[in-house]
Amino acid sequence: MTPKKNKWLVGLIKNSLRIICFFLFIHWIFWITTYANCTNYRDSINKSIEQNTSHKEPIEYGYKKFGKIEKKTIEDIEEDILKMVETKKNVTNLLREWKKNQFPILEKLNKEIEQLRNNQHPILSKKQQEYEEKLKVAKEATIKNIHKQLEKNELIISELDDGRGWFESLRKDPINFLFLFPLNKMGKKFGKHLELEKHLWVEIIFKLIIIKLIYHLVTYSEAKMTDFQENTERLQNPNLSMEEKEQISQEVSPLTKYLIFNGMMFFLFNILVTFVHPAFLDRTNHNFYRSVSLIIWIPLLIFSGFMSSISGEFSRQERILNFSEIKDYLTKHWILIFVISPLFSIIISVKFGQVYGVFSFAFLSGIVDFFFNIIKLSVFKKTQPKIHINKKFSNS
């Protein structure tokens, strides 16, 4: 193919991706998206061990839509998940650990406690303590069995899509269907080599790199906020004629649309796809829900935010800054870099669970940003198109 045809083909691919991503953003922002129940079950089960006090108590699951949270018992959730595994893999009679082994023990203990409570027996507190201990063990055994059955059948829980067909999956959760499902498939395919299932950091880095590449493809990297600000300031010049102002406005108009689109894509790829969507990471990884100390992670998140911010400035200026320029940049933006940015990361991380997986993702996002910006600066700079703004009126 000739260079001209190559350029046309690349442009076609980019514009097609942009249209798709725009509709993905609209689909989510109007809350049309419906996640498969299994991802909701997974979070609910993993978080329920310390919260629930009864083997019959339904677990809250799901993401708050219009103020509504649904509930199901552990037995119902276990049945739903394993039934989907059986359907997906055409197998039968997977072990129901909760229903077969754990629930009968807890039910028997619960009846004994009720009898003791009616008779006000002195060993009541001892039995209640025994019940609580067995309940915790039962939940852990149930979770372990679900993970075991998924691993045995070479599945991750986000692949269990409530039996949706391809059209229903596309209609209800297009982000997962178009991006995350292929990404998880790719991760599984190379999982044995990359050990994605064993090393959570490798999985996070692998997926962030792919998402960053897509983000770079669909955004208009030539559209810079500094150009927009510069030309907005030019419009404030009282010495400009109406014709001159109209000319500047026509030149700035495409830049404004590009910046708005870039903002949408930033929200889509850096928040919705990565932080919010439950299928982005395999949270069945045993390391994901490990509790961590916030104090240990604060300096790591500050460092990560600094690396991301300073590399972003390199990218914006299209060069590596020298020591003096870095010092000036830090002097002007230290509150944003060392206070607001890490505070935002900490708040988001705590909101989504003060656990190892979420903090790891927040930390690695900044590190991947740094390396991606440095590579982009050296590799993509030569091929980056320019928006030419006529500045003949700038000194008028």
Identify residue 386 by its one-letter amino acid code: K
Average pLDDT over residues 236-248: 72
* pLDDT, position 264: 92
Q: Which residues have C-beta within 8 Å of that of residue 247, sequence separation ≥ 6?
A: 390, 393
* Res 390 pLDDT > 70: no
* pLDDT, position 84: 92
Token representation of residue 65: 């839509």
Output the pTM of the full model.
0.76
The label of the residue with tokens 């604060």 reads: 298
Predicted confidence band of residue 253 (pLDDT cuts 50, 70, 90): confident
- Alpha-carbon gap, residue 199 to 32, rounded angstroms: 34
* pLDDT, position 285: 66
The label of the residue with tokens 């103020």 reads: 67
> For 263-272, which contacts have Cβ atoms below 8 Å and span 24 or more sequence positions?
264/22, 264/25, 265/21, 265/25, 265/215, 265/218, 265/219, 266/215, 266/219, 267/25, 268/21, 268/24, 268/25, 268/28, 269/211, 269/212, 269/214, 269/215, 270/215, 270/365, 272/25, 272/28, 272/175
Look over the chain and give the mean of its residue pLDDT values, rounded to a whole number: 80
What residue spans define the domains of the chain?
Answer: 37-159, 174-383
CA 242 to chain CA mean position, Å: 47
Q: Are 349 and 290 in contact (CB under 8 A)?
A: no
In this structure, of 170-184, 249-263, 267-281, 300-314, the range with the lowest mean pLDDT score is 249-263
* Res 161 pLDDT > 70: yes
- Alpha-carbon gap, residue 24 to 17, rounded angstroms: 10
Token representation of residue 101: 């082994």
Average pLDDT over residues 349-363: 79
- Alpha-carbon gap, residue 62 to 64, rounded angstroms: 6
Average pLDDT over residues 98-106: 93
* Residues listed for the chain: 396
H runs (alpha helix) in the chain: 3-29, 37-48, 74-89, 97, 103-119, 124-152, 166-172, 174-175, 181-189, 191-194, 200-218, 225-235, 242-267, 294-317, 323-335, 341-351, 356-379
The predicted-structure confidence for 323-335, as pLDDT tens digits, reads as follows 898 889 888 888 8
* Res 245 pLDDT > 60: yes
- Alpha-carbon gap, residue 225 to 221, rounded angstroms: 11
